[in-house]
Amino acid sequence: MDNRNLDKALEIYSCLITGQEVSRSNRETRELYEEFYSNAEVYEITTKLLKKLNLNMYEYNDSVYITAGEGNRVFGYTNDDMKRMLGLRLNKELYMVYFIIYMILLNFYQDSASFQVKEFIKPDEALNSVTEYLSALTADISIYSMDELVEESFKTIALLWDELPVVTSSDKEKNKASKASRTGYVKLTFNFLVSQKLFIENEERYYPTDRFKALAENYFEEYKGKIYSVLGGDKDA
């Protein structure tokens, strides 16, 4: 193994693990991007290292991104980690955020074959999607025949959403991230997605980043709509 190639592979890994974009369009990492794809040994060392550390590599629009693999407790977030980051206390509150994230995802993609055609999403669109989907599923009593863990988590968030007002009583609180309203939960979720560099916000419009597109499109390829299937949808949809 060439020491230079090992150094380059470790440099690429260091950039990726610290959240930097290794991209052809990024002046700071362009050289590393070209090295990654033009040098077979650098590519092999980097991908092997990522695999050993249970990190998934995604490629999109001449850029490389990584995310923690399933069950990665070192580089990923546990439920307790997520609750601390979001200022939540109960599992049902966290499940609610997870569900909102998934509905935001479906506003851009239905499956791996669909184009990402929307330029942005507004909070009201996400709120309406969550309300519509939960209303449709809670009307079907068969959803509660799933295994105990999924049944409890889904039933809980459905009831939680049903009890929440759309907005709080104060106009000042309308766009505040909180657990006090449906609007607050949506804002809380978007704030998290922005902090993870998955969306950029401009005047209450949320634009997906290339990082979001890379993760979203590869989600459908890797998990084949697993979350959608768990929620009662057609696994082939």
Helix (H, G, I), strand (E, B) or coil at 146: coil
Q: How far is C-alpha 100 from the geometric centre of its chain's CA atoms?
A: 10
Q: Tell me what percent of the residues of the chain surpass a pLDDT of 70.
A: 76
- The sign of the torsion formed by the CA atoms of 94, 95, 98, 99 equals negative
C-alpha dist (Å) from residue 195 to 2, 80, 86, 129, 176: 38, 18, 11, 22, 16
Domains of the chain: 3-68 (1.10.10), 79-230 (no CATH)
pLDDT score of 237 = 42
Q: What is the mean pLDDT of residues 143-149?
A: 47
pLDDT at 224 over 80: no
Q: Tell me what percent of the residues of the chain surpass a pLDDT of 90.
A: 41
Give this prediction's pTM: 0.80
Q: What is the mean pLDDT of residues 164-182?
A: 73
pLDDT score of 179 = 85
pLDDT at 234 over 80: no
Candidate ranges 85-99, 147-161, 173-187; pick with highest mean pLDDT? 85-99
pLDDT tens-digit series, residues 69-115? 877 776 778 889 999 999 999 888 998 999 999 899 888 876 555 55
pLDDT band of residue 122 (cuts 50, 70, 90) is very high
pLDDT band of residue 118 (cuts 50, 70, 90) is confident
Residue 69 burial by Cβ neighbours in a 10 Å radius (0-12, 13-18, 19+): middle
Candidate ranges 154-158, 165-169, 201-205, 216-220; pick with highest mean pLDDT? 201-205
pLDDT band of residue 156 (cuts 50, 70, 90) is confident
pLDDT at 151 over 60: no
Question: Two tokens at 188?
Answer: 């809380």
Q: Can you tell me which residue has the tokens 């055609």?
A: 117
Q: What is the chain's mean pLDDT, rounded?
A: 81
pLDDT tens-digit series, residues 28-45? 999 999 999 999 999 999
Beta strands in the chain (DSSP E): 22-23, 55-60, 63-68, 199-202, 205-208
